[in-house]
Each structure stands twice: as structure tokens, then as C-alpha cells.
Structure 1
């Protein structure tokens, strides 16, 4: 049997077969004309090597199995030496797993320490809202995290001249977003795999669901654009480098805006709350056009389905030409 036929039947390349021959695992004979001639058992041997290396064994570690086949056995693991090879490979993998587990736990500990520095955990939560003037007011968590009962007052309000750092390396001035509608969804925070959220966070109604909300806007991003959203942004008080990790991990097609100083809250009186010593934004979404807030979503009871809610609104509320735009076109 020629090398090409053996390779095809065994599911390996001719190059791999030549390597097995060089290390003495598959041994052909020479025909009178000098061509290599492989015995039919070579197909089983090459296939055995392929399958065992796929399980993590090295080519050399397959030798007992190949020799078992060469001795006439129906399976490569019917010989005592093959069983020893199995046990040796398992022991090696167990040791690697132990070492990798230790490394993983050490990295997780470093990650937890870093996260604690970034998101400190301390006192029980209180929820606050800051007005444009006057002292901080304590509020009831359910009404504030889901959205300010008076948040509807924002409709028609001009967006403030607040410049925020974006995850794509640019800066965004909310007062100069450009033509078309902007979807700006404001959220408390997104966690990271293996990192605990601030103590008490899960007890606050409406706080959870930020990652699912981001995934929803990701999955429906093209539909939102087709429905008239010229741009989509997420906004939170987390720093830009933290948001960039989320962008990379979830492969978000839009940028996040970082507002660690709560400039937007102070300008628009958006709701915030505190948990574990950390101040966070309440969940609210603004649709803006022509420099003003056109529509407000608050509360947002189902963050994982919120993108669809925004999409439905865009589809059922076609944009209205502003007076300035109409004047330019009609003139």
C-alpha cells in the first residue's frame, strides 16, 4: 500500500506519516523498484497515533499502542504496556491540572484584590439623588434604581455641554452629538467573571442585569441603526479602562462613556444610588435628537429585553424634522 493511500485511510497527512516512519512507529518495506510499501496494519497504527495525540499524548507516548497493534492485537490498548502508558498520561494530566488550578486561584486572588481597590465594599447601601441645588436626599431604593418618578420632566430638555471619555479613545460632547437620534442608556455597573459585586448590590431591585442589557444592545445594534438610531452609547460611572474590558469581552459594536465625576447626573438630575460605599447611576435610557432629550425610558424593569423596547419605540416613532432642518431644506 502506498503512502498516500495509508494517509487517506488513516486521516493523516503524508508528511505526518513520513514523521511516524522516521521515529520508527510505522515501518514500511521496500519493493524491488525502491518504493515504500505499507502493510494494512499501518493504517490502524497511523489512525491510533492520530487519535491518541488528539487526547493529549505525545507521538512518542503512543509507541506501546502502535507496537501492540504490530504484534497482532485487535486494539492498541490490549497490551499491559499500553495500560501503563494510559496511567502515566493520566498522572501527568492530573499534575498539570493541579498546577493550573493553583495558578488560576492565585490570579483570581490578585484580580479580587484589584477589584476591591477599584470597587470598595464597606457600609450598607443608601440611595441618593442630587438636585441641581440643595442637599443630598435619601430615597427609597426601588423607585430610584429603576428610575426617578419625575424623570419624565427630562423630555425636551437640552443636553448639557458635558464632554466624556469614550472607550474608543475619543471624547463625546453630549451637546454636540451630531445629526440623527442618539440612544444613551445609563446603567449602574457591569461585573467581571469571578469578581464579586459590591456587597448588597443584588438586594437592590433593578440593579442587576447590566451585562444582559449591554448584550441586548449589541445583538440589536444593526436593527437600532436601521430604525433611525445614528449612534448608541452606554454610560456609567465606571472608569474607561474598566469599560474597555467589557467592550472586548462582549465584543460590543458601540462605545461606552465614562462619567466617574457624575457630570451628567449633576446637569440633568439623573438618579443615583449607593451600595457598599460606591455611588452608581440608576438605570435610565434617553433618546436624544437635535441636542434635546426626545424620550425617556424609566424605569427599566427588564434590562435583558430593554433593547427590544427601545427598538419598538424607534420603529413606531419616526423622527420629526426640526424647524431648523425644515428651513434649510425648504429654503
Structure 2
């Protein structure tokens, strides 16, 4: 499945035509843990991807964060955390639903559960990682999965 999505960096194609993998980090809502501790960890999970940027680059993976909000609402959050990668605004939840991302209800709204989706260059879902009980390990779990996927297909080219 190919589509152009609204992000904090402007419209971008999903999957990335320039990378072997596209990794979508789904979060409930930036900062929601301050109001609902049981849903906390969004910032931690996204920052784990930021901190692993070099490892994602070595894996030839484009990283995007996804939340059920408008990109404009997410821009300040992304900038304030110096994420270094765009956040996708999936207000109608259509992107997450297309990939089978679990949802949660909070404050009379439907949001995404913490998860990650790994797409190959053709847009095929190669992995759905859920649950992610330890937000600080979100990127680590995805990188482990990318390594297994890469090993099963042979070494990266280039």
C-alpha cells in the first residue's frame, strides 16, 4: 500500500521509496502520561527512536512517528524533543487501521496503542510489534526485528 501522509515535515510517501524499510512508531498521544499514567511512555518511546538514529540509518530504515492528531499539533512536540524525524498526523486513524495497529479508548477518544509497524519498500507489512510494555525499549525491539528480517532476506545491499 502506497500513500502520501501529512507529517510535521510536510507530505511524505509511505513507504519510503528511498529506504529498504519504513518504521512507523505508533503512540497514543504525546504527553498523555501526565493525565493518564497507564498510557504514559509516548515521549520515552519516540526518544528511544531518536537516540537510535544511527542504528536505523545503518539498517536503511526511515523512521516516522504516528499519532492520531493533526501534524500542526505534533510539530511543537517533535521540535521540543529534537526527534530528528517527522511525526505523521493520522487524525482519522486510517493509516494505523490499514496496518492493523491496536487502538485504545481514552478520554472519550480513540487513540493508537503503543506499537510499531515495519514496512518493506513495496509497502507490505513485514512486522507489527505490539505490545511494547517497556517504552524505553521501543526502538531496541524494532531494531531487533529489523535485524531478523534482514538476516532472513540476506545482507543489505549498498
TM (norm. structure 1) is 0.42
Alignment pair present for 1:301 and 2:133: yes
Which 4+ runs in 1 deviate beyond 6 A?
Answer: none
Preserved CA contact (<8 Å) 2:25 2:46: no
Q: Distance in 1 between matches of 2:146 and 2:101?
A: 22
Structure 1, unmatched stretches of 5+, are 1-158, 322-331
- Which shifted more, 183-192 or 260-269? 260-269
The aligned length equals 151
The corresponding residue for 2:99 is: 268
| Structure-2 separation of matches of 1:273 and 1:317 | 28
Whether 2:153 is the aligned partner of 1:312: answer no
Query: Is the aligned partner of 1:257 residue 2:88?
Result: yes
Q: Corresponding residue for 2:54?
A: 222
**In the alignment, structure 1 residue 182 sits paired with structure 2 residue 22:** yes
Change (3 A) 1:261 1:309: same
Aligned-residue Cα RMSD (Å) equals 2.2
1:163 aligns with 2:1: no
Distance 2:112 2:87 in 1: 14
User: Structure 2: how far apart are the matches of 1:227 and 1:173?
Assistant: 19
Partner of 1:84: none
Structure 2 CA distance, aligned partners of 1:264 and 1:180? 20
Superposed, which structure 2 residues align to 1:1-331 within 5 Å? 159=1, 161-169=2-10, 171-174=11-14, 176-178=15-17, 179-191=19-31, 196-197=34-35, 201-202=36-37, 204=38, 207-229=39-61, 231-290=62-121, 291-318=123-150, 320=153
Higher strand proportion: 2
More helix by share: 1
Shift of 1:310: 1.6
Structure 1 residues 133-160: Cα deviation after superposition (integer angstroms, max 9, x where no partner): xxxxxxxxxxxxxxxxxxxxxxxxxx3x
Q: Give the match's secondary structure for 2:116.
A: strand
Distance 1:306 1:268, change over 3 A: closer
